[in-house]
Amino acid sequence: MSSQFNLPPDSTNSDSTFSGAGRRSRSLGELFRDNLQLTPSDIEKISRHQQEHNLRFGEAAIALGLATSEDVLQALSHQFRYAYGDEDHRKATPELVVLNQPFGHQAEAFRAVRSQILMRTQVDGEKRRRPLAVVSPDSNDGKTYFCANLAVALAQLGGKVLVVDADLRGARLHQVFGVDNTNGLSGALSGRGGKDVMKPAPGIRHLYVMPVGVQPPNPLELLEGPAFGAMLREVAHKFDHVIIDTPAAVFGSDGVVVASRCGSALVVTRKDANKVSKLHELVDSLQAGQVRLAGVVMNEL
């Protein structure tokens, strides 16, 4: 059967910094030489300063004024193959803290959650993982922010990741990632075409975004229809991880419906903002729908 949702080619594989088993990672000296146009004499000077003062290579380069902290972070991102946004990207996508501040405490918190997610979304007896719906009791809980940064953290592991905006009532993922929202999930589910609905996330290897597209008048009907289930099955086999943003429970049952189709959900709630009773109601609804609860995250921001 031909694919309804076309996966765009992974153009990110052209990075030659690391090319897999049997190929070595380029040193910082080589990266500095190529990216900063340093001479062999400059590289030797950095190495000598590194040894004399017991510094790391990048620290020595900064001390000598031959590189900046930004240059070192960019070189390390290439050497260890993790996404790190440049200055322009950071200004355009300020909410992607895992990309823009990879060594900050917020990024570390997302990595800790990522580790838990990896353990709790594995399908018993199979290699694949369930798509994960991210749900919340109310708006402004930080659910979209959480979805986006969790997706970046998962992509930094190297597997293909798809983050889907199934919030057909108040879509925002396209703004967070800076991708075109002309075509998206709503068009594919309503039979108006499923081509070009998955966009490569700018500057982030292995990560794709499926925005909502045109906001439909019948969001719940689209999510309960057979096309959404077919889409989930297809992307679950094409991607290593699928993260799905949903509307807050205060707007209706969309989130619970999506979670029941995924089979797995994570609840995001904001500290000192939501009533415990509302949180319990949401969890009870998920459990009634035979949803495996991956956990509850308390957003303290």
pLDDT (tens digit, 9 = 90+) per residue, 47-64?
999 999 998 898 899 999
For range 3-14, the mean pLDDT: 45
Pairing of strands 241-245, 132-135: parallel
State yes or no: pLDDT of 10 exceeds 70: no
Q: What's the CATH number of domain 89-299, 1.10.10.10, 3.40.50.300, 3.40.50.720, 3.40.630.10?
A: 3.40.50.300
User: Quick check: 254 and 220 in contact, CB under 8 A?
Assistant: yes
pLDDT at residue 238, as a whole number: 92
Residue with tokens 């009791």: 137
For range 73-102, the mean pLDDT: 75
What DSSP state is assigned to residue 129?
B
For the chain, how are helix, strand and coil distributed in percent, rounded to 5? 45, 10, 40
For range 104-122, the mean pLDDT: 88
Length of the chain: 301
Least confident among 25-34, 36-45, 83-92, 201-210: 83-92
Across the chain, mean pLDDT equals: 85
Q: Please report which confidence band the pLDDT of residue 3 belongs to, taking 50, 70 and 90 as the band edges.
A: very low
For range 122-149, the mean pLDDT: 85
Maximal C-alpha separation, the chain: 68
**Is the CA virtual torsion 74, 79, 80, 81 positive or negative?**
positive
Read off the pTM.
Answer: 0.78
State the span(s) of the chain assigned CATH 3.40.50.300: 89-299
H/E stretch holding 87 reads helix 87-92
pLDDT at residue 131, as a whole number: 93
Neighbour tally for 152: CB within 10 Å: 28
